[in-house]
Amino acid sequence: MGFAYDDSNIFAKILRGEIPNNTVAENDHALAFRDISPKAPTHVLVIPKGAYVSFDDFSKNASDAEIVGFMRLCAEVAAAEGVSLDGGNGFRAITNAGEDGVQEVPHFHLHIMGGRMMGPMVSLRD
Ligand code: 5GP
């Protein structure tokens, strides 16, 4: 089945303008907006505008231009939020993939979180 994309997911609706979002930054290939349920003072989601399910789908199948556009927007967000190491105190970037990764929304996204000490890298529960 591979990386079958379901275009009824909530981030696809955000990209189509069907539901609102709190945009932080945007370029031709990616959109950054605030998480609706922030886990840190800065909690921004960066998503590609293309239809990619997960990090591995994006890394394997996106064009070079899409990958560069996505990564540059991540850097722009870190700087704009004041968490970049270039003047700020740092951040955590997380992407969850699939069932074992506990991914809720099946459109690839990177969480950029900071503005506080982020604690242990993972906290496992069954
Ligand atoms: P995941 O578990 O898939 O890595 O993370 C999904 C994230 O999307 C969660 O942090 C959740 O709070 C966020 N989220 C879910 N629905 C919406 C929405 O409608 N708008 C925004 N801005 N964030 C959402």
On whether the CB atoms of residues 33 and 24 are closer than 8 A, the answer is yes
Per-residue pLDDT of the chain (126 residues; tens, 9 = 90+): 689 999 999 999 999 999 999 999 999 999 999 999 999 999 999 999 999 999 999 999 999 999 999 999 999 999 999 999 999 999 999 999 999 999 999 999 999 999 999 999 998 887
Which of 37, 42, 58, 107 should be mutated for ligand 1, with most atoms under 8 A from CB? 37
Could you give the number of structural domains in the chain?
A: 1
Task: Tell me the CATH number at 28.
Answer: 3.30.428.10
**AA letter at 47:** I
**CA 27 centroid distance within chain:** 14
Q: Does residue 28 have its Cβ closer than 6 Å to ligand 1?
A: no
Residue 49, domain member (yes or no)? yes
Q: Does residue 18 have its Cβ closer than 6 Å to ligand 1?
A: no
**AA letter at 126:** D
Calculate ∠ Cα 23-119-93, nearest 5°.
35
Q: Does residue 104 have its Cβ closer than 6 Å to ligand 1?
A: yes
Residue 1, domain member (yes or no)? no
On whether the CB atoms of residues 55 and 22 are closer than 8 A, the answer is no
